[in-house]
Each structure stands twice: as structure tokens, then as C-alpha cells.
């Protein structure tokens, strides 16, 4: 039978409370946490409301506010789950975020403007730092990842934790989302004119959103493991779905097609019908376009059922990357206590209008109430077109474990810098309009892309062409994308934030703001290619370019997709170079940039298409070290290699060639080199950075391309690639195709 995943602990900090009890009591009472913004300057803005957290006991002041909120919620979740120190130490951390370390960027640039530079804030700027910071502070050594798919990220993190449990990558995960109130997000949504002047009124007046902040963390645990330690079980994760609209970078498809598909994916995953869902915690942002599309989706799927619907954002505001996780906590509480949380803010006149819009659907207006809730759904829809839906149940249906298919590499695309001048500090990729027109990209599309998205679009298009994949209405929902990055669109984020620091919150650009979210590159790629399957962006240091391959393999094994593109992408620029020099984390390497995308495909799909297969993915593994003395990063690297080899059924002596992208820091580099020598002896260790410069996530992905080429060329039969980043390691074993 397929492994079951249960929720054994909850933690939350949000505008309506600093813990689960306070927050849930407020939600049941219909208490709003929205008020006049105090943490940023809103002078000159047409709106000035927000949902802020006021807590004098936030831990870990050395980290960004996003990580501090996450750690606060995680501490409560660990305590609530009754995890021992040993069990907690083995737990992984999967955290969703939209804006990452935007507060640290703001603090740094503001201090710089005042002549008080503080380089200690630089390592906290990237979203890659969040899960690693939480793991380091709490001493958690399981697999880590930062899912950065904007407002769907919190929900996706819980789903990914379940996938990792079912793939055997761990028994316990702290999963959820976190995002702070920031001038970047406020100025961006203000520029889009998407903020409401009054407290947001989702599924009601729909005049705009009110931003919130916070973190929700759930302990997701393998059922047998939870039972063995006598854990209390709130409920079970019955099913989930993730997809992409491939419609618009900021607006939902008005047809609701993508939303309906992701809801159906979740229902199919849980093997239930719409009539079995008793409650839906709607995405319910309060914007007209989002609410209209969601009403349409809910009517199409749930008309004729006894479902109840509400949006708790009416009280918390939109907590961005934390939203799905905060709402997951409330949905779990709803299921475990049989209480429907309300949407507040309806007048008697509004209720009349609501009845017209809701029809037979039971919208919970103003007051919470009791109802038996054996099963509930929570929905999240995001910038970039990402959609996620998850189902919680008192007791889920049991599923047979599907047989695992062989997975092949059937194509790849790359655009990488060339390390031509050893004395240069940076190697860049020069792109012009012809690079895009040659690939069918029109000027109107090109103008919307930042450099990060440009790199990804080119390598992704070339990868599909290399694999001879033609996207059509028949297969568009069976093709997905996982993009790994170390720093994301750092130039766009920094320039946007710098402008705000200099000119105020009214200076945000509606044109550039959409590209400040990490998953914009994936969104642009999906929109251009019309790929509508699973779509995720993972930020986790250099190794994210290889972790994307492991993530994509887990998605393929679940069975919804036939083809997954796994990428590594990172840009280089004056801003990136400046940050790397000041943070002293790039060593002596020439800083490069680029994107590398690998096409992964099930054996059945490859056979049907008559695809050329370069290599088979024989095994893969991800590990993490929190940096504590009892589990060093060198040991985590060794474990990643040994676990990948074990999954492939090989010994180290079976490997013909090794590709490694290791740390740039002298001490770690020496330890990692010693591990490679210990495991593989005198075998040559290849490093693509010698040709390209340090392209970070792109380098990690590119080394697997080189490994696949070597197998396809017949020079070797078995290869292994390994990469480091943010305390994490991923190792992938390839073998020749049979």
C-alpha cells in the first residue's frame, strides 16, 4: 500500500494570533487582524491597510524576518507534535515563500543609503536561506527545500513533503510557508492597483487584496511512524494537485480552466468525488478577477453537493507564500473540530447579493458554525499561473502503490557563460533579440522578460526541441517544469527595492513587479510553451539545479505527468557580483550565469514517442546538514552519494565517472574533496565550472547533462553527479539505457 501521510503538529503566527489557540479562537470569533500599516511608510499611497504580526518574542534576530516567523511557528509545531530531540533532528524542512528575504534587502539598501552598510544581511536576502536558517536554528537534518511559487508555495510545500515521505526520503517534515510584511510586496501590489482601500472583502465586494504576513508550519509524518511513537493525529493528507494556468503572469484564466483542473487533480489523488468534500477554504483574495474565476470553478465542480465555502483571508489578509500554509492550519482545525470558519464583512444587503452569486453553494458568512467535516479542501492560486489544491480528511482512502516506471533523459537545452578570461571576475551570456526570434519569441513577449526569465526560456525551448516534444492540447497537462535556483531574479528584486528605498512606496513599477517573484521564469515559460502540468520553482543554493531533477523524478513517479523539465538557472550581473564579493561566498571562482534544462520522461511515454534516450536515472537522493557537530556537511554529502547508489543498486566501484560541483569555501571544499577521494578513490572528478564559470544552479544541472552525454556517447556506463548548496546535497546516478 502507498504510504499514508498524517498531520501530527501545528504551529502558526499570523495577524489574528501568535499561536494556534489564539489564531483559531480569533478565526472562529470572526475577529479581524487588519489595520493601518505600521511597519512601512505608506505616505502618498491610496491604501494603507495590512495584516501585521506584533510579537515581542520572535526568535533568531540574526535571520531575515521570513525565517524568524517560520522558526516561531516551527517551534510551536514541534512542541505540539511531541517530537523528541532525536525525532526533530531527523525532520526535514520544506518552506514556501513568495518574497523571500525582501526585508533584509530593504534593510541593507536603506542602511547603504545612510552610509551604514551591514554585510551580515546579505546571506539572508535570497529565499534559499529560509529553510536552511530554520534547520540550523532548530537542529533539523532532514531534506530541506524552499518552494518559491508565490501564493501557492505554502500549499505546495505540504504536498511536496508528502511526496518525499512516499519516496522514502524521510518520515517527518516541517512543512508550510512564511512571508513578512514588506515594502516590496506593498509597493508592487500598490503599483498594480490591486490593494483595497477598505479591509479586503473576498467573495463579496472584491475591491482588492489586503496584504498580511506570518507563517504556518505543519508536522507532516508517515502514518506508521506516528503511530509507533504514540503521536496524536489531527487528520490525514488525502490528496493534492499542482498545475499551471499557462495564461497570464499575474491574472488567473477567467475560464477557471486551470483552477478546475487542479481541484480535479486533488480529487483524483484522494480518489474521492466532489460530494465527499464538506468544506473548501477558498483562495478568496478579494480581487474581482480572482474571485470571479473562483466562483466559476466552485460552481462547476461543486454545484449539487453539500459543500460549505469560506475565505479566512477576510481576517488575516493575504499572507502571500504563507497563505496556503496558514489556511491549511485552519482547514486542519476545521476537520479535527467540525467547525466551519467564516468569511467576515457581509452586511445584510451583501448577503442578498451573495445568495445570487452562490446559488446552492453554502457560503459561510460572518459567523462560524458547527458541521460534520470528514474531508476538506484548501485552494491556492498564484502569480505565474501556479495552482495548488490539497485535501485533508479524518481518515483517507488507502491506495495501492503504483509500479514505478523507468525514467529517462530524452533531451536538454543550455545557455551558459564561457570562462574565457581567467582573470575576469564575471562571465556573462550576451543575448539579443535574434536569440529569441529564432526560437519564435515575439518582441511583445521578450519585453516582459527579465534576464533570469530570458535564460530559462531559451534553455527550456531548446530542451523541448532537443527531445522532439511538441506541446499540444492532448499532452499539455502531462508536461511539467521544476526550476532550481540559488538566488532567483536577484537583479530585478534589488533594482525594484532600491527604487522604493529612494523614492517611497508609490514608486513601485507595475511592469517590473511581476518579475520579482521567483517563479516568474517558470510562469513565462509555461505561458509561451502552453505546458500546463506540475510547475514548481525551488530555491536552495547551487545544488537546486540538481535537486530539481530529484523533485521532477518524484513528480513523475506520482503518475500525473509523462514529461518533466528539470532546470537550473541563475543570472549574473553587477548587482550579483557586488553581493557575492561583499558576502565573500564565491571564493576564487569566476562568477558565471546561465540556464540548463533537462527533459525527463517515463519509459512508457518515451517509447510511445519513439524518443531518443540518453541515459536512465538509476537513483537519486537529497540530504541536509544543519551544521551541528553531530552531523557534519561532509557526512551529509557522503550520505547523499551512498543513498543514491543504494537506490540504483550500485557500489561506488561501479561508477565510471564522477561530476561534482562542491563548495567554494576553503574549509568545506577540503572536507568535500576528502569525501570524494574516500568514496571514489583516484577517479577523476569533473567540474563544469572550469569551462563556464560558477553558474550556481545552472552548473549543478549542467554537470548531469555532461554525464548523460558521456553515457550516450558510449564512453561510460554509469555516472554520478553530486552538488552542494545551503547545507544540502543532491546526488544523481545515471546508467546506460537498456
Taking 90 as the threshold, does the pLDDT of residue 123 lie above it?
Answer: no
Contact of 307 with 8, CB cutoff 8 Å: no
Rounded to a whole number of angstroms, the distance between the first and last alpha carbons of the chain is 29
Q: How confident is the model over 570-576, as a mean pLDDT?
A: 84
Q: How confident is the model over 595-613, as a mean pLDDT?
A: 97
- What tens digit of pLDDT does each residue of 702-734 get? 999 999 999 999 999 999 999 999 999 999 999
Taking 60 as the threshold, does the pLDDT of residue 233 lie above it?
Answer: yes
Q: Which of 28-42, 109-123, 423-437 has the highest mean pLDDT?
A: 28-42
318 is catalytic: yes
Taking 90 as the threshold, does the pLDDT of residue 4 lie above it?
Answer: yes
Taking 60 as the threshold, does the pLDDT of residue 586 lie above it?
Answer: no
pLDDT at 26: 98
Taking 90 as the threshold, does the pLDDT of residue 25 lie above it?
Answer: yes
Q: How confident is the model over 26-41, as a mean pLDDT?
A: 97
Q: For residue 712, how many other CB atoms are within 10 A of its CB? A: 17
- Binned at pLDDT 50, 70 and 90, residue 357 comes out as confident
Taking 60 as the threshold, does the pLDDT of residue 587 lie above it?
Answer: no
pLDDT at 315: 98
Q: How far, in whole angstroms, is CA 243 from its chain's centroid?
A: 13
Residue of 283, 524, 624, 718 marked catalytic: 283
The SS3 of residue 179 is: strand
Q: For residue 19, how many other CB atoms are within 10 A of its CB? A: 19
The SS3 of residue 717 is: coil
Contact of 531 with 461, CB cutoff 8 Å: no
pLDDT at 434: 94
Q: Which residues contact 454 (CB under 8 A, 6 or more apart)?
A: 431, 436, 446
Count, in order, helices (H) and strands (E) of the chain.
Answer: 25, 25
Residue of 190, 205, 318, 524 marked catalytic: 318
* Burial tier of 635 (Cβ tally within 10 Å: 0-12, 13-18, 19+): middle
Contact of 702 with 416, CB cutoff 8 Å: yes
Q: 576-610 burial by CB neighbour count: b if 16+ within 10 A, else e?
A: beebbeeeeebeebbbbbbbbbbbbbbbebbeebe
pLDDT at 422: 67
Task: State the chain's mean pLDDT as an integer.
Answer: 94
- What tens digit of pLDDT does each residue of 491-546 get? 999 999 999 999 999 999 999 999 999 999 999 999 999 999 999 999 999 999 99
* Burial tier of 198 (Cβ tally within 10 Å: 0-12, 13-18, 19+): middle
pLDDT at 583: 65
pLDDT at 355: 86
Taking 80 as the threshold, does the pLDDT of residue 559 lie above it?
Answer: yes
Residue of 70, 98, 151, 622 marked catalytic: 151
Grid coordinates belonging to 434 = 535574434
What pTM does this model have?
0.97
- Residue 113 has, within 13 A of its CA and on its CB side, a CA count of 13
β-strand pairing of 375-381 with 279-281: parallel
- What tens digit of pLDDT does each residue of 253-307 get? 999 999 999 999 999 999 999 999 999 999 999 999 999 999 999 999 999 999 9
Q: Return the residue matching grid coordinates 553527479.
A: 721
Of 74, 63, 134, nearest in space to 101 by CA: 63
Q: How confident is the model over 367-384, as a mean pLDDT?
A: 97
Annotate 481-531 with DSSP letters as a single string.
EEEEESS-SHHHHHHHHHHHHHH-GGG--TTTGGGGSTTHHHHHHHHHHT-
Distance CA 710, CA 716 (A): 6
Taking 60 as the threshold, does the pLDDT of residue 585 lie above it?
Answer: no
Grid coordinates belonging to 249 = 503572469
From residue 736, give the alpha-carbon distance in Å to each of 286, 565, 673, 714, 718. 53, 20, 27, 8, 7
pLDDT at 2: 87
* Poorest-pLDDT segment among 28-37, 105-114, 157-166: 105-114
Q: How confident is the model over 464-481, as a mean pLDDT?
A: 97
225 is catalytic: no
Taking 80 as the threshold, does the pLDDT of residue 581 lie above it?
Answer: no
SS3 assignment for 129-145:
HHHHHHHHHHCCCCCEE
Taking 90 as the threshold, does the pLDDT of residue 590 lie above it?
Answer: no
The SS3 of residue 328 is: helix
Q: Which residues contact 95 (CB under 8 A, 6 or more apart)?
A: 70, 130, 131, 134, 145, 146, 147, 157, 175, 176, 177, 178
- What tens digit of pLDDT does each residue of 635-682 get? 999 999 999 999 999 999 999 999 999 887 777 888 899 999 999 998
pLDDT at 399: 79
Measured in degrees and rounded to the nearest 5, phi and psi for residue 271 equal 60, 50
Using CA atoms of 659, 665, 671, 677 in order, give the dihedral in degrees to the nearest 10. Answer: 30
Grid coordinates belonging to 578 = 557586488
Amino acid at each position: 500500500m502507498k504510504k499514508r501521510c498524517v498531520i501530527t503538529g501545528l504551529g502558526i503566527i499570523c495577524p489574528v494570533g501568535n499561536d494556534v489557540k489564539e489564531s483559531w479562537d480569533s478565526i472562529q470569533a470572526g475577529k479581524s487582524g487588519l489595520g493601518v500599516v505600521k511597519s512601512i511608510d505608506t505616505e502618498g499611497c491610496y491604501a494603507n491597510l495590512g495584516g501585521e504580526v506584533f510579537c515581542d518574542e520572535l526568535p533568531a534576530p540574526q535571520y531575515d524576518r521570513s525565517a524568524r516567523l517560520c522558526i516561531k511557528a516551527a517551534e510551536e509545531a514541534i512542541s505540539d507534535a511531541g517530537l523528541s530531540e532525536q525525532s526533530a533532528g531527523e525532520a526535514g524542512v520544506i518552506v514556501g515563500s513568495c518574497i523571500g528575504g525582501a526585508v533584509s534587502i530593504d534593510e541593507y539598501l536603506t542602511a547603504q543609503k545612510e552610509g551604514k552598510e551591514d554585510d551580515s544581511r546579505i546571506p539572508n536576502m535570497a529565499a534559499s536561506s529560509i529553510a536552511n536558517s530554520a534547520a540550523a536554528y532548530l537542529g533539523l537534518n532532514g531534506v530541506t527545500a524552499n518552494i518559491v511559487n508565490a501564493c501557492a508555495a505554502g500549499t505546495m510545500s505540504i504536498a511536496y513533503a508528502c511526496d518525499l515521505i512516499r519516496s522514502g526520503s524521510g518520515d517527518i517534515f516541517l512543512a508550510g510557508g512564511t512571508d513578512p510584511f514588506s515594502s516590496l510586496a506593498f509597493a508592487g501590489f500598490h503599483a498594480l492597483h490591486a490593494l483595497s482601500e477598505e479591509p479586503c472583502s473576498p467573495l463579496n465586494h472584491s475591491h482588492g487584496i489586503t496584504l498580511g504576513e506570518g507563517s504556518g508550519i505543519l508536522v507532516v509524518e508517515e502514518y506508521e511512524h506516528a503511530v509507533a511513537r504514540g503521536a496524536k493525529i489531527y487528520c490525514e493528507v488525502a490528496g493534492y494537485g499542482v498545475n499551471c494556468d499557462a495564461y497570464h503572469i499575474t491574472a488567473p484564466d477567467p475560464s477557471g480552466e486551470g483552477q478546475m483542473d487542479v481541484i480535479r487533480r486533488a480529487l483524483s489523488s484522494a480518489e474521492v468525488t466532489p460530494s465527499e468534500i464538506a468544506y473548501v477554504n477558498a483562495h478568496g483574495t478579494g480581487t474581482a478577477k480572482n474571485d470571479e474565476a473562483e466562483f466559476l470553478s466552485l460552481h462547476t465542480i461543486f454545484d449539487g453537493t453539500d459543500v460549505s465555502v469560506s475565505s479566512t483571508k477576510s481576517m488575516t489578509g493575504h499572507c502571500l507564500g504563507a497563505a496556503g500554509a496558514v489556511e491549511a492550519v485552519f482547514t486542519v482545525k476545521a476537520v479535527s473540530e467540525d467547525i466551519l470558519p467564516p468569511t467576515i464583512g457581509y452586511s445584510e444587503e451583501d448577503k442578498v447579493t451573495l445568495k445570487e452569486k452562490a446559488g446552492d453553494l453554502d457560503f459561510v458568512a460572518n459567523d462560524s458554525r458547527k458541521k460534520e467535516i470528514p474531508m476538506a479542501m484548501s485552494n491556492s492560486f498564484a502569480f505565474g499561473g501556479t495552482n495548488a489544491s490539497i485535501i485533508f480528511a479524518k481518515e483517507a482512502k488507502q491506495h495501492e502503490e503504483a509500479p514505478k516506471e523507468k525514467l529517462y533523459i530524452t533531451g536538454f537545452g543550455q545557455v551558459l557563460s564561457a570562462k574565457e578570461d581567467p582573470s575576469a571576475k564575471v562571465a556573462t551570456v550576451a543575448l539579443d533579440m535574434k536569440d529569441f526570434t529564432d526560437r519564435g519569441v515575439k518582441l511583445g513577449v521578450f519585453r516582459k522578460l527579465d534576464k533570469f526569465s530570458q535564460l530559462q526560456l531559451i534553455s527550456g525551448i531548446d530542451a523541448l526541441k532537443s527531445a522532439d516534444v511538441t506541446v499540444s492540447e492532448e499532452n499539455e497537462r502531462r508536461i511539467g517544469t521544476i526550476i532550481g535556483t540559488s538566488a532567483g531574479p536577484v537583479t530585478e528584486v534589488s533594482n525594484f527595492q532600491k527604487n522604493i528605498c529612494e523614492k517611497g512606496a508609490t514608486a513601485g513599477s507595475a511592469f517590473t513587479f511581476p518579475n520579482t517573484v521567483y517563479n516568474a521564469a517558470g510562469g513565462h515559460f509555461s505561458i509561451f510553451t502552453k505546458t500546463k502540468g506540475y510547475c514548481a520553482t525551488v530555491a536552495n543554493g547551487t545544488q537546486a539545479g540538481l535537486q530539481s531533477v530529484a523533485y521532477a523524478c518524484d513528480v513523475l513517479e506520482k503518475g500525473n505527468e509523462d514529461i518533466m523539465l528539470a532546470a537550473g538557472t541563475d543570472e549574473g550581473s553587477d548587482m550579483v557580483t557586488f553581493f557575492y564579493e561583499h558576502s565573500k561566498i564565491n571564493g576564487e571562482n569566476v562568477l558565471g550565469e546561465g540556464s540548463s534544462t533537462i527533459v525527463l520522461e517515463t519509459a512508457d511515454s518515451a517509447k510511445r514517442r519513439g524518443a531518443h534516450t540518453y541515459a536512465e536515472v538509476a537513483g537519486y537522493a537529497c540530504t541536509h546538514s544543519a551544521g551541528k557537530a553531530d552531523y557534519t556537511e561532509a557526512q551529509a554529502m557522503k550520505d547523499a552519494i551512498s543513498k543514491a547508489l543504494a537506490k540504483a543498486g550500485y557500489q561506488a566501484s561501479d561508477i565510471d565517472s564522477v561530476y561534482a560541483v562542491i563548495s567554494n569555501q576553503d574549509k568545506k571544499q577540503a572536507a568535500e574533496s576528502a569525501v570524494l577521494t574516500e568514496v571514489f578513490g583516484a577517479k577523476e572528478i569533473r567540474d563544469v565550472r572550469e569551462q563556464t564559470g560558477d553558474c550556481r544552479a545552472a552548473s549543478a544541472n549542467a554537470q548531469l547533462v555532461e554525464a548523460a552525454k558521456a553515457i550516450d556517447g558510449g564512453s561510460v556506463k554509469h555516472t554520478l553527479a553530486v552538488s552542494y548548496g545551503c547545507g544540502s546535497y543532491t546526488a544523481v546516478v545515471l546508467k546506460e539505457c537498456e
